[in-house]
Structure 1
Amino acid sequence: MTKTLRTFTAAILLGSALISGCTSTQQADLIVYNGNVYTVDDAFTKAQAFAVKDGKIIAVGTTSEVREKYNASVEIDAEGKAVYPGLIDAHCHFYRYGLALQSADLVGTESYKEVVQKVVEQREKYPDTDWITGRGWDQNDWAVKEFPTKDTLDLLFPDTPVILTRVDGHAALANQKAFDLAGVTAGTTLTGGVVEVENGKLTGILIDNAVDLITDKIPAPDADEQRQALLNAEHNCFAVGITTLDDAGLDKATVDLMDELQKKGDMQMRVYAMLNPSQENQDYYFKNGPYKTDRLNVRSFKIYADGALGSRGANLIEPYADRAGHHGFLLASEQEFRDIAAKLYEHNFQMNTHAIGDSANRLLLDIYGNLLKDKNDRRWRIEHAQIVNPEDMDKFGRYNVIPSVQPTHATSDMYWAGDRLGSERLKHAYPYEELLEQNGYIPLGSDFPVEDINPLYGFHAAVARQDAKNYPDGGFQMENALSREAALRGMTIWAAKSNFEEKEKGSLEAGKFADFVILDQDIMTIAPEQMRNVKVLQTYVGGKQVYKR
């Protein structure tokens, strides 16, 4: 072969290789195409398709761009449906919800008579349990808005202990058998709680820390019951599009169980764990530091500053409008809050504090500020931040404190919150837009099982400020409604940021986990009154389908 011929042949081969290289496709595990994809990136851009490999997104673009460049064994034609990042619930009680699935469901009851009926039905269904438990009643929804008494439960269940927890978890009704087993009498007193007594006798009502006097006597679930509770809760969460959740108030044993199930592949849910401030948790995690895997993140503690507004346990600066001289109360001393804050700061853990009343919010913001000083990236959070005095609002921005809120609280409480607060103070309650302005982002959650597990209810409440019946017309205090974009960010990328996880989830971008959800309607465009009817068609975690309708 002549030199010229060899050169010509080499050129042909090189050209063929270049052409082949330009036209060959790369291998992916999954391609989603023909979708209405909300990436929720910084620019809030939209796309049609994305490719996934090894559980992470590797490309996002148009259908033609992605399908021409990538080939996958599994392809999903989204058929024009709306696709969003996996939804993140920034505040809930996942494990407790799972355990409660076998308790009487008292949510939505319209009278104490209905509560009793449901408890009787529950006993007939589970006749051999040592305790009768239930959760979800709210006397504010009844024609008679007073707390119930234990008399009927004493007559129906004289030999079986009963405890029925209010919807917010900050009050409960117990029968005499439960009081006897716990050794609680009309003379029992404690810090941060009330055992209610009238005419020298127990009424059955316990508020805040007093609830623990009874619940601590309930036998702990065995290992199988705990595992099943987590898996049952996970199934229900995937069905409503949740792929990550912040479980508020866990003990090390439960965190370890979650880790075990995740590592075995039995549990796919990603969990941001907020630890109870028990001595055991402090001793272990202060010594060993935060713990992080792809599915579990343990770097925060959940602290309770006060009680709930509905049971008048929220700590207010001025007295309750409907109970003269009553301010609610703190659940611990100011010094105890300062001490735990100092420990968490020293050991580099996030502090996430339940604060409902304006007095509790003021105290905790000041404690935070004393440690955080000015601008910082500690991302300490106030959970709920329901009533904030105008004089304290700018402290969220000044100290970079994150307000972690639950929009359905506003639409659940709006019927009676004015009774507790009065019309002037109500204007500074559930101020989500004003809170958003402090740091430029606000994570959203549900607080389930206090509220419904469905995050789309929270989206509707945030945007329309209306309940399930689209009441009231025009919305409740609409000056603090969130835009649809802000609401979607609040349940995706902003929730991820509040967990220090914005670089790995919360948006559909290359390099992030392929956690996503496909809905049957586009919540960004449909009428507000249709939002609660939207259905999840498919949910994916790490590119793996975990739910299909």
Structure 2
Amino acid sequence: NASNLLNEYLPKTSEATLKSQLDAAGKQLLSEGITSVHDAGIGIPTYNYYQKRVAEHTLPIRIYPMIGAYSPAMIEMLNAGHIQDQYDWLSIKSVKVYGDGALGSRGAALLKPYSDEPHNSGLLVTREADLKPLFDLILGKGFQLNYHAIGDRANRLALNQFSDSFSKVGGQHLRNRVEHAQVINIDDIPRFKTLNIIPAMQPTHATSDMNMAEDRVGALRLKGAYAWQTFLKQGTPVAFGSDFPVELSNPFFGLHAAVTRQDRSNNPDKGWIPEEAVTVIQAFRGFTLDAAYAAHQEAILGGLTPGKWADFILVDLDIFTVSPKDIWKTQVLETWIAGEKRFQK
């Protein structure tokens, strides 16, 4: 938040820079077999630039951007309504709200203090008092609300406010999301299903965090942490992603982490909290159909069935038969979007 004080004094990003950034990112993602991304938090320059590129038919991949709640132009973007192009390259109908910090830096907001820092319970990036007007505004405008929550306190605040706002302004049908949903009090997990909240989770976070997570929150709180299988068993769809550029964007790294709960050196031996591992089919669905569902796009994306866009990839390994420890080694040979080849190795 402190860095925001400097933003108005920094040079504005030029269109040439936006072009080089988007083209470079698109090239990288296509080489990894990614045909569509959810861009979690944009301001007005990117909002306008994406629309310029889609009008020119030059977006490198499909993009589902979330308006950043931090943007001074948020109201202006909300009042413009949903943005949707006819070929489904760009869909703007959601907002990213920032709840707390990260677990590693002890910034995730916890109900009780950190196990390894007893005077600290984390922090809120958006004040609790600001949640109600913000949720009511966004949901009242008919925009999906995606709330960043890593700690159990931030997750509970989100669930409480969703419940309150649904009773006041509606919006429960919007497939609202909690981004990350990493450490959750086990009593709160069923509320995701009751409130129709989708946990949008990143499998590589578990394997990146496993070396410090128990130090931070202790063994008891880990029972509701990175709980992919628990969510699936209660009938809650889980949208999987990578959180790039915080983590690497390669989806096969994520598929591997989801199935094995191990890093790419096969550690720990039987996986970290292995009861929360998912099957290859479950992981694959999380990165495809359920991710599309979390963007209201399951009728057009996320599978190879009649009526959907022909977005598909060719790979060198069969991830459904290869040893799970080797899934991350998968190489993409070709990437196609809407029946047109966009990448060839």
TM-score range, shorter chain: over 0.9
Unaligned runs of at least 5 residues, structure 2:
none
Structure 2 distance, partners of 1:213, 1:278, is: 12
Higher relative contact order (CA 8 A, sep 6+): 1
1:221 match: 13
Which residue number corresponds to residue 540 of structure 1? 336
SS of aligned partner of 1:210: coil
| Secondary structure in structure 2 of the residue aligned to 1:377 | helix
The 5 Å alignment of 1:263-302 reads 263-278=55-70, 280-293=72-85, 294-302=88-96
Partner of 1:89: none
Aligned pair 1:257/2:257, yes or no? no
Distance 1:214 1:475, change over 3 A: farther
- 1:48-447 pair list within 5 angstroms: 209-213=1-5, 217-278=9-70, 280-293=72-85, 294-373=88-167, 376-447=172-243
Counterpart of 1:185?
Answer: none
Could you tell me whether the CA contact under 8 Å between 1:375 and 1:399 is conserved in 2? no
CA–CA separation in structure 2 for the residues paired with 1:507 and 1:327: 42
Q: Which amino acid aligns with 1:312?
A: R
Shift of the 215–459 alpha-carbon distance from structure 1 to 2, 3 Å rule, reads farther
Match of 1:524 in 2: 320
Q: Does the 8 Å contact 2:309/2:338 carry over to 1?
A: yes
Query: Which has more radius of gyration?
Result: 1
Residues 479 and 226 (structure 1 numbering): CA distance in 2 closer, same or farther, change over 3 Å? same
Structure 1: tracts of 5 or more residues without a match: 1-208
Amino acid at match of 2:161: I
Q: What corresponds to 1:115 in structure 2?
A: none
Q: Residue 468 of structure 1 aligns to which amino acid in structure 2?
A: R
**CA 1:322–1:213 in structure 2 vs 1: closer, same or farther (change >3 Å)?**
farther
Equivalents in 1 of 2:71, 2:148: separation in Å?
Answer: 19
1:367-404 CA-partner distances (Å, limit 9, x unpaired): 00122359942201000000000111111011000000
> C-alpha distance in 2, partners of 1:534/1:287?
43
- Greater strand proportion: 1
Q: Tell me, in whole angstroms, the C-alpha distance in 2 between the residues paired with 1:263 and 1:288.
A: 17
In structure 2, the residue corresponding to 1:490 is in which secondary structure? helix
1:469 is aligned, of 240, 265, 281, to 265
* Separation in structure 2 between the aligned mates of residue 437 and residue 400 of structure 1, nearest angstrom: 15
Q: CA deviation at 1:221?
A: 2.6
Deviation, structure 1 residue 453: 1.1
Alpha-carbon distance in 2 for matches of 1:355, 1:517? 32
TM-score using structure 2 length: 0.95
% identical equivalent positions: 38
Structure 2 counterpart of 1:526, one-letter code: V
Query: Is the Cα–Cα contact under 8 Å of residues 109 and 150 in structure 2 kept in the other structure?
Result: yes
| In structure 1, C-alpha distance between the alignment counterparts of 2:24 and 2:228, rounded to whole Å | 32
Maintained 8 Å contact 1:375/1:398: no
Q: Is the 8 A contact 2:150 2:181 kept in 1?
A: yes
Alpha-carbon shift at residue 444 of structure 1 (Å): 0.4
Instruction: Name the SS of the counterpart of 1:540 in structure 2.
Output: strand
SS at match of 2:148: strand
Deviation, 1:278, is 4.2
CA distance in 2: counterparts of 1:307 and 1:295, whole angstroms: 31
Does the 8 Å contact 1:515/1:543 carry over to 2? yes
Matched, 1:459 2:255: yes
Deviation of 1:242 after TM superposition, in Å, equals 0.5
Q: TM-score by structure 1 length? A: 0.60
Where do 1:28-47 residues align within 5 Å? none
SS of the aligned residue for 2:187 comes to helix
Asked if the contact 1:375/1:400 (under 8 Å) is kept, the reply is: no
Letter in 1 for 2:75: D
CA distance 1:211–1:419, change in 2 (3 Å): farther
CA distance in 1 between partners of 2:104 and 2:162 (Å): 26
Partner deviation per Cα, 1:75-99 (whole Å, 9 max, x = no partner): xxxxxxxxxxxxxxxxxxxxxxxxx
Distance 1:396 1:440, change over 3 A: closer
Q: Distance in 1 between matches of 2:196 and 2:327?
A: 32
- Say how many residue pairs are matched: 341
Report the counterpart of residue 505 of structure 1 in structure 2.
301
State the 1:212 CA deviation.
3.5
Q: Measured at CA, do residues 211 and 525 of structure 1 come closer, stay the same or move farther in structure 2, by a change above 3 Å?
A: farther
Residue identity in the other structure for 1:393: I
Q: Deviations for 1:193-226, whole angstroms, at most 9, x for unmatched residues?
A: xxxxxxxxxxxxxxxx234445665433321111
Asked whether the equivalents of residues 140 and 171 of structure 2 are also in contact (C-alpha less than 8 Å), the reply is no
Tell me the amino acid that sits aligned with residue 316 of structure 2. D
User: How many Å separate the matches in 2 of 1:432 and 1:382?
Assistant: 13
Go from structure 1 to structure 2 and tell me whether the alpha carbon gap of 1:422 and 1:483 turns closer, same or farther (over 3 Å shift): same
Residues in 1 aligned to 2:204 and 2:247: alpha-carbon distance in whole angstroms = 7
Is the 2:44–2:71 Cα contact (8 Å) retained in structure 1?
no
| Structure 1 pair 323–216 and aligned structure 2 pair: CA distance change class (3 A) | farther
User: Matched residue of 1:502: which SS?
Assistant: coil
User: How many angstroms does 1:362 deviate by?
Assistant: 0.5
Quote the Cα distance in structure 1 between the aligned partners of 2:7 and 2:211: 30
From the superposition, tell whether residues 216 and 520 of structure 1 become closer, same or farther in structure 2 (CA, over 3 Å): farther
Alpha-carbon shift at residue 282 of structure 1 (Å): 2.8
Q: Which amino acid aligns with 2:266?
A: N
1:483 corresponds, among 279, 292, 300, to: 279
Over aligned residues, Cα RMSD in angstroms?
1.6
SS of residue matched to 2:97: strand
